[in-house]
Amino acid sequence: MKRTDITALFPDATDEQIDKIMNLNGADINKAKGDLEELRGKFADMQNELTTLKQGGSDKALQEATERAAALQNELDSIKRGNAIRDIRDKVAGEMKVPASLLTGETEEACAEQAKAIMEFAKANPQGYPVVKDGGEARNTLTTATRDKFAEWAKDNL
């Protein structure tokens, strides 16, 4: 994610707000990179252990090492897939000018379709969501303060 992407999505954003968004995004990316490097290290250790066991280890230990290596490989693949999906969503969000958090697709085509639907909804409903009957909006404006109304009620009823 780049500063220009954020500015394009939120033209009224201040530099401070953009910095906060960039810091959050950077922290997420650094955490994912750290997790990835940690798993790569564990995977390399497992491969070394597997090589050692193949050269003279027992069948049971070899089987356990193989299973752990497979589990780590699956976890590594899962992280890579998650990073690829996040990159796709960020790319589409930047191109289509919609928040990436609204996109749930896992392919560029699916995210583009969702972004188009979001844009169509936003154009069709420029005022936002429709007003719901008795949705809590105030119908009457008070001519006197609430405190004065309460004092009047207390005087009449107590």
Q: Is residue 135 part of a domain?
A: no
Determine contact, residues 43/79, Cβ cutoff 8 Å: no
DSSP label at 134? T
Handedness of CA 128, 119, 20, 82 (dihedral sign): positive
Q: Which of 64, 65, 111, 60 is CA-nearest to residue 85?
A: 111
Name the band, by pLDDT with cuts 50, 70 and 90, for residue 135. low
Q: Is residue 23 part of a domain?
A: yes
Q: Is residue 89 part of a domain?
A: yes
Bigger pLDDT: 134 or 72?
A: 72
Q: Is residue 97 part of a domain?
A: yes
Neighbours of 79 (CB within 10 A): 17
pLDDT at 134: 66
Bigger pLDDT: 141 or 43?
A: 43
Question: Once rounded to an integer, what is the mean pLDDT over residues 85-99?
Answer: 90
For residue range 100-128, list pLDDT tens digits in order. Answer: 888 888 899 999 999 999 888 888 876 76
The rounded percent of the chain whose pLDDT value lies above 70 is 87
Q: Is residue 16 part of a domain?
A: yes
Domain range holding 55?
Answer: 3-128
pLDDT at 132: 64
State which amino acid sits at residue 150: F
Q: Is residue 144 part of a domain?
A: no
Determine contact, residues 39/72, Cβ cutoff 8 Å: yes
- Tell me the C-alpha distance between 6 and 17, whole Å: 10
Q: Is residue 77 part of a domain?
A: yes
Name the band, by pLDDT with cuts 50, 70 and 90, for residue 88. very high
Name the band, by pLDDT with cuts 50, 70 and 90, for residue 137. low
Domain count, the chain: 1
Name the band, by pLDDT with cuts 50, 70 and 90, for residue 130. low
- Tell me the C-alpha distance between 33 and 56, whole Å: 35
Q: Is residue 143 part of a domain?
A: no
pLDDT at 144: 75
DSSP label at 126? T
